[in-house]
Copies of this chain bind each other. A is one copy, B any other.
Amino acid sequence: MSKQQLPIIDAGVNVADAACCAPLLCEPLSESEAAELAPLFKAIADPVRLRLLSLIACHEDGEACVCDLTVAFDLTPPTISHHLKVLKQAGLIDSERRGTWVYYWINPGMLERLSVVLGPRVAETA
């Protein structure tokens, strides 16, 4: 299955630092932090991919077959496949083939990381 799905990221933002406020607002992002985060944001910076992400997350059992997704758009299957690949390469989703169909699900840690960068973290059972 070639080299398509190396989940690139371990973006250098550590959750402890986020206790006070959004890391982005606490202290200047380093060049390398920015370089790691930008591709993640780029992956979700597309209306089709945002909806794909949402459709997958909200689908029964938290996973969806490509066929479920394709029908929700006015786009060809290759295009949907392309967008899914982009999301997967960013580490935001994962997939598995089961018989004829391929199922995708969300990697929630990735979304949370982005959320943390932008805003204050949820109080840990404060």
A106-B25, A111-B24, A119-B116 known; A34 and B47 CB under 8 Å? yes
| Interface residue A99 (Cβ < 8 Å from any Cβ of B) | no
B118 contacts A120, C-beta separation under 8 Å: no
Interface set, chain A 109-126, CB cutoff 8 A to B:
111-112, 114-116, 118-123, 126
B118 contacts A54, C-beta separation under 8 Å: no
A45 contacts B41, C-beta separation under 8 Å: yes
Provide the bound-state CA to CA distance between A51 and B73, in Å.
34
Provide the bound-state CA to CA distance between A53 and B58, in Å.
32
Residues of A within 8 A of B (CB): 22, 24-29, 31, 34-35, 37-39, 41-42, 44-48, 50-51, 53-55, 57-58, 106, 108, 111-112, 114-116, 118-123, 126
A-B residue pairs in contact (CB < 8 Å), sample of 18: A24-B50, A25-B57, A26-B58, A27-B58, A34-B50, A34-B54, A35-B47, A38-B46, A42-B46, A45-B45, A111-B119, A114-B118, A115-B119, A118-B118, A119-B119, A119-B122, A121-B122, A123-B126
Query: Which 4 residue pairs are nearest across A and B when measured between Cβ atoms?
Result: A115-B119, A41-B45, A115-B118, A42-B45
